[in-house]
């Protein structure tokens, strides 16, 4: 009755922290080409993250939640998706979004404060990075269920954090997904902290993956700093969901190396030796060692990416105040049209089709 | 879609017929499901049971469970998954069982349903209709009678509409389902069983338009939802007292149809706004403020509000004290600073 629903005692690991092959039978090791692609994406992702963090310190961005330390989770998930699948990322998943192929400057639109989302979700099959916790889990379930109703071969993969597992929407999403057998994969990046609150104050469950059994969902616990293991597990989950086996819950055990955001001070709630422990488990060095790489193979490419971000972030976008009144509704209601004319002191004579404007050119609102 | 719907009888909805509001809404859902295979209906008990108010009666049997189905009991889940479905091209119509039971969905409605189009610069619109039976007057117990409209009207990006009569309920619901925007569709429970003989058609005032239901010379009474019939009752009673009341049904609470309402108030020079919800920070406050700003020089008296009391919704045996009735509307009318006889 419960067969296959519980995670293994030890997190799934294909490559150990020292860079050696772990003896495991759960999933096959991805081929060298895939592992190299994972490593390359992690190098780019880390460099992107460092560059954006630096730009934030310089005041070029309003805020930035760093992905450093979680590159294996984010690239392993993003690269496991097929082109027709959808990704539902959170605010901390910029590296996953960049790995999905979205222009880094479009990713930074929201963090720069230019608009709330800078890319086309439909074009990239990537939802806007979600700020409220866990609400995106339900969007993923709905999208996946719609895909099933339409006989589309599409899986929705949703990223969430350990803190989000306490939210009611996570419960509802797991339950809906299981009841509907929706092709959706939940990837929980357990980085140990919800801002400052450690996991043991968040849950009394044996692990976050153990939560799946209560919903009848197959669950896996994976070493989130092992890109090979994350990729293999998410890939298997996507295949299973696509084949009609229903949803999968994956807990990826990782660590947030930086503070919650640039506005946070992590020294107030965690110790240096804990950070040092996780530095030993660095996802990039582990995979480089396994692949026999020097670690500098993709540095030039990453440096080009960083330089491009630096250059383009050096120019301030100047969003138009008129854009405030766009896309509130499919068509601008008359009352909003009048408020815009009034607020922006626009000449009514220069605008056609605005009824009810006073002759002096000011709106009535 | 895997389900092939039965052929519709085209004349079914177009001939004049005696129909309740619940029946008209049921007809609207059936016709919308028939007209557009992207439309799906789900929520709590909306399948074989047909909804606790029977608004979805027979739809699951007619269209199959891939079009009309029972969801798990969780309102945030219902709206949240509807958002995902709309992102993938469907047009979900979901039901919240009662007004106060919609509150678990508040975050999904206000933070995502309302904002996705704006957040994505128009790239992802969410044509979702959230049907909410609302309001009192049915002797319901706690949590079953809230007038929750301003929680939604205060959120830009949502269209918020209320229906008051069977024929307009049919029209509004069809229009709401066809809208590219998310619509909060408020159904006055106390009028579910009121009947009207009418032709059910989408023609008539558009989704965002108010309508003058009863023309009059002296006072504009502005009402919506369950209070429209009360306002019309006041107009009938007022005739005996010498008042000729014009009654406007707002229909769309957001956006607000300034043009129709201000035209009426400029004609009559006096206005009373009626709603069941508490008056403090209620919808009538916005209406009174807008009309004062736009019609100040036409007004012969301050705009008055006739509303529910500023209290939690009372138990059934006391709700009559809370809810506006025709007498209270006429009391307000009498206080509109009449220097001369009404109509002079």
B64 touches chain A (CB under 8 A): no
Choose among B109, B261, B91, B181: nearest CA to A331.
Answer: B181
- Taking an 8 Å cut-off on Cβ atoms, the answer to whether A121 and B87 are in contact is yes
Which strands sit side by side in the sheet containing B219-223, from one edge to the other?
B211-214, B245-249, B219-223, B271-278, B304-308
Q: What pTM was estimated for this model as a whole?
A: 0.94
**Chain B residues 151-180 within an 8 A CB cutoff of chain A:** 156-157, 159, 179-180
- Taking an 8 Å cut-off on Cβ atoms, the answer to whether B117 and A328 are in contact is yes
The answer to whether A250 and A186 are in contact (CB under 8 A) is yes
Residues of A in contact with B124 (CB under 8 A): 121-122, 128
Shortest Cα distance, chain B CAs vs residue A268, angstroms: 31
Beta bridge partners of A251: A188, A221
Residue B265 has pLDDT above 80, yes or no: yes
Residue B337 has pLDDT above 80, yes or no: yes
pLDDT on residue A364: 47
Beta bridge partners of A253: A190, A223
B56 touches chain A (CB under 8 A): no
Comparing alpha-carbon positions, the chain B residue that sits nearest to A333 is B255
Torsion of CA A214, A217, A89, A331, to 10 degrees: -90
Nearest by CB to residue A139, choosing from B80, B117, B294, is B80
How far apart CA B86 and CA B300 sit, in angstroms, is 48
Q: At what angle do helices A168-180 and B75-87 cross, to 10 degrees?
A: 70
Residues of B in contact with A120 (CB under 8 A): 120, 123
Shortest Cα distance, chain A CAs vs residue B125, angstroms: 8
How far apart CA B183 and CA A278 sit, in angstroms, is 48
Q: H-type helices in A81-211, by residue range?
A: 94-99, 104-112, 121-124, 135-149, 168-180
pLDDT on residue B340: 62
Residues of B in contact with A147 (CB under 8 A): 88
Mutation target among B81, B160, B287 for the A interface, most CBs of A within 10 A = B81
Helix and strand totals (H; E) in chain B:
12, 14
Nearest by CB to residue B88, choosing from A146, A334, A365, is A146
Shortest Cα distance, chain B CAs vs residue A177, angstroms: 10
**Is A119 assigned a catalytic role?**
no
- Taking an 8 Å cut-off on Cβ atoms, the answer to whether B84 and A116 are in contact is no
- Taking an 8 Å cut-off on Cβ atoms, the answer to whether A142 and B81 are in contact is yes
Question: What is the distance in angstroms between the CA of the first residue and the CA of the last residue of chain A?
Answer: 64
Both tokens of B324, joined, read 């506006």
The answer to whether B223 and B306 are in contact (CB under 8 A) is no
Nearest by CB to residue B81, choosing from A145, A329, A330, is A145
Shortest Cα distance, chain B CAs vs residue A270, angstroms: 32
Choose among A222, A197, A200: nearest CA to A209.
Answer: A222
Comparing alpha-carbon positions, the chain A residue that sits nearest to B257 is A335
The answer to whether A299 and B94 are in contact (CB under 8 A) is no
Residues of A in contact with B125 (CB under 8 A): 330
pLDDT on residue B7: 43
- Taking an 8 Å cut-off on Cβ atoms, the answer to whether B180 and A330 are in contact is yes
Comparing alpha-carbon positions, the chain B residue that sits nearest to A147 is B88
The answer to whether B169 and B195 are in contact (CB under 8 A) is no
pLDDT on residue A359: 46
How far apart CA A211 and CA B88 sit, in angstroms, is 28
- Sequence-distant (≥ 6) Cβ neighbours of residue A171 within 8 angstroms: none
Residues of A in contact with B157 (CB under 8 A): 328-329
Q: Give me chain B's average pLDDT, please.
A: 95
- Taking an 8 Å cut-off on Cβ atoms, the answer to whether A121 and B83 are in contact is no
How many C-beta neighbours within 10 Å does residue B186 have? 26
Measured over the CA atoms of residue B165, residue B168, residue B174 and residue B180, the dihedral's sign is negative
Sequence-separated contacts (24+) of A357-363 with Cβ below 8 Å: A363/A337, A363/A338, A363/A339
B118 touches chain A (CB under 8 A): yes
**Is A327 assigned a catalytic role?**
no
- Taking an 8 Å cut-off on Cβ atoms, the answer to whether A141 and B81 are in contact is yes
Both tokens of A56, joined, read 């934030």
Residue matched to tokens 């082109």: A83
Residues of B in contact with A145 (CB under 8 A): 81, 84-85
pLDDT in tens, chain A (365 residues): 777 899 998 999 999 999 999 987 789 999 999 999 999 999 999 999 999 999 999 999 999 999 999 999 999 999 999 999 999 999 999 999 999 999 999 999 999 999 999 999 999 999 999 999 999 999 999 999 999 999 999 999 999 999 999 999 999 999 999 999 999 999 999 999 999 999 999 999 999 999 999 999 999 999 999 999 999 999 999 999 999 999 999 999 999 999 999 889 999 999 889 999 999 999 999 999 999 999 899 999 999 999 999 999 988 778 889 999 999 999 999 999 999 999 998 876 544 444 554 444 444 44
Mutation target among B42, B75, B80 for the A interface, most CBs of A within 10 A = B80
Nearest by CB to residue B1, choosing from A120, A149, A334, is A149
pLDDT on residue A346: 80
Choose among A199, A182, A71, A67: nearest CA to A129.
Answer: A67
Selecting among A269, A270, A351, A362, the annotated active-site residue is A269
Mutation target among A136, A149, A180 for the B interface, most CBs of B within 10 A = A149
- Taking an 8 Å cut-off on Cβ atoms, the answer to whether B76 and A144 are in contact is no
- Taking an 8 Å cut-off on Cβ atoms, the answer to whether A140 and B84 are in contact is yes
Residues of B in contact with A116 (CB under 8 A): 115, 118-120
- Taking an 8 Å cut-off on Cβ atoms, the answer to whether B2 and A149 are in contact is yes
Residue B195 has pLDDT above 50, yes or no: yes
- Taking an 8 Å cut-off on Cβ atoms, the answer to whether B87 and A355 are in contact is no
Mutation target among B80, B84, B175 for the A interface, most CBs of A within 10 A = B84
How far apart CA B327 and CA B237 sit, in angstroms, is 9
Choose among B141, B138, B185: nearest CA to B32.
Answer: B185
CA angle A137–B126–B253, rounded 5-degree value: 120
B2 CB-contact burial (10 Å; exposed 0-12 / middle 13-18 / buried 19+): exposed
Residues of B in contact with A146 (CB under 8 A): 84-85, 87-90
* Cis amide bond preceding A281, omega within 30: no
Residues of A in contact with B89 (CB under 8 A): 146, 150
Nearest by CB to residue A327, choosing from B90, B121, B256, is B121
Residues of A in contact with B118 (CB under 8 A): 116, 327-328
Residues of B in contact with A169 (CB under 8 A): 76-77, 80, 107-108
The answer to whether B58 and B134 are in contact (CB under 8 A) is no
């Amino acid at each position: 009755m419960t067969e296959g629903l519980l995670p293994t005692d030890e997190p799934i690991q294909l490559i150990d922290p020292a860079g050696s092959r772990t003896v495991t039978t759960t999933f096959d090791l991805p081929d060298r080409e895939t592992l190299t692609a994972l490593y390359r994406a992690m190098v780019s992702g880390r460099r992107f993250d460092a560059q954006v963090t630096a730009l934030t310190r310089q005041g070029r961005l309003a805020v930035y939640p760093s992905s450093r330390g979680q590159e294996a989770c984010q690239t392993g998930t993003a690269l496991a998706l097929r082109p027709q699948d959808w990704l539902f990322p959170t605010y901390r998943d910029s590296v996953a979004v960049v790995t999905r192929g979205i222009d880094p400057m479009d990713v930074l639109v929201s963090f720069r404060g230019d608009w709330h989302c800078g890319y086309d979700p439909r074009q990239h099959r990537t939802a806007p990075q979600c700020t409220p916790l866990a609400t995106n889990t339900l969007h993923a379930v709905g999208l996946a269920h719609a895909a099933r109703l339409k006989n589309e071969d599409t899986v929705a993969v949703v990223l969430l954090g350990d803190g989000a597992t306490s939210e009611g929407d996570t419960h509802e999403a797991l339950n809906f997904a299981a009841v509907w057998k929706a092709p959706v994969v939940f990837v929980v990046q357990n980085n140990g902290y919800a801002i400052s609150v450690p996991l043991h104050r968040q849950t009394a469950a044996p692990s976050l993956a153990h939560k799946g059994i209560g919903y009848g969902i197959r669950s896996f616990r994976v070493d989130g700093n092992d890109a090979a293991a994350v990729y293999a597990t998410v890939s298997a989950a996507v295949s299973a969901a696509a084949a009609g086996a229903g949803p999968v819950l994956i807990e990826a055990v990782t660590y947030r190396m930086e503070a919650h955001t640039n506005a946070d001070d992590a020294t107030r709630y965690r110790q240096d030796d804990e950070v040092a422990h996780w530095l030993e488990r660095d996802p990039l060095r582990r995979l480089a060692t396994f692949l026999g790489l020097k670690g500098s193979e993709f540095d030039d490419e990453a440096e080009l990416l960083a330089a491009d971000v630096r250059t383009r972030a050096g120019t301030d976008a100047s969003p138009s105040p008129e854009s405030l009144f766009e896309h509130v509704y499919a068509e601008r209601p008359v009352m909003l049209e009048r408020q815009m004319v009034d607020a922006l002191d626009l000449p009514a004579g220069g605008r056609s089709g605005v009824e009810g404007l006073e002759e002096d050119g000011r709106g009535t609102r | 879609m895997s389900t092939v719907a039965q052929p519709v009888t085209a004349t079914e909805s177009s001939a004049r017929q005696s129909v309740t509001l619940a029946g008209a809404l049921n007809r609207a859902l059936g016709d919308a499901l028939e007209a557009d295979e992207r439309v799906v209906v789900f929520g709590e008990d909306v399948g074989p049971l047909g909804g606790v108010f029977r608004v979805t009666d027979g739809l699951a049997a007619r269209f199959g469970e891939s079009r009309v189905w029972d969801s798990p009991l969780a309102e945030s889940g219902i709206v949240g998954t509807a958002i995902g479905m709309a992102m993938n091209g469907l047009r979900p119509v979901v039901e919240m069982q009662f007004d106060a039971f919609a509150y678990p969905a508040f975050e999904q409605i206000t933070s995502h349903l309302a904002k996705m189009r704006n957040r994505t610069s128009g790239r992802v619109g969410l044509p979702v209709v959230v049907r909410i039976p609302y309001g009192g007057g049915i002797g319901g117990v706690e949590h079953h009678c809230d007038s929750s409209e301003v929680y939604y009207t205060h959120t830009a990006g949502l269209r918020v509409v209320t229906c008051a009569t069977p024929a307009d309920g049919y029209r509004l619901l069809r229009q709401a389902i066809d809208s590219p925007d998310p619509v909060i569709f408020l159904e006055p429970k106390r009028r579910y069983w009121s009947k009207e003989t009418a032709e059910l058609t989408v023609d008539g005032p558009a989704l965002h338009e108010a309508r003058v239901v009863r023309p009059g010379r002296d006072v504009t009474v502005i009402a919506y939802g369950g209070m429209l019939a009360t306002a019309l009752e006041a107009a009938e009673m007022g005739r005996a007292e010498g008042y000729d009341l014009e009654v406007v049904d707002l229909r769309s609470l957001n956006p607000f149809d300034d043009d129709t309402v201000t035209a009426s108030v400029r004609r009559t020079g006096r206005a009373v706004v009626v709603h069941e919800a508490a008056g403090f920070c209620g919808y009538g406050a916005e209406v009174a403020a807008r009309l004062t700003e736009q019609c100040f020089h036409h007004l012969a008296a301050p705009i008055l509000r006739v509303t529910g009391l500023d209290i939690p919704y009372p138990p059934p045996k006391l709700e009559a004290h809370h809810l506006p009735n025709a007498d209270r509307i006429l009391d307000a009318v009498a206080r509109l600073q009449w220097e001369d006889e009404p109509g002079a």
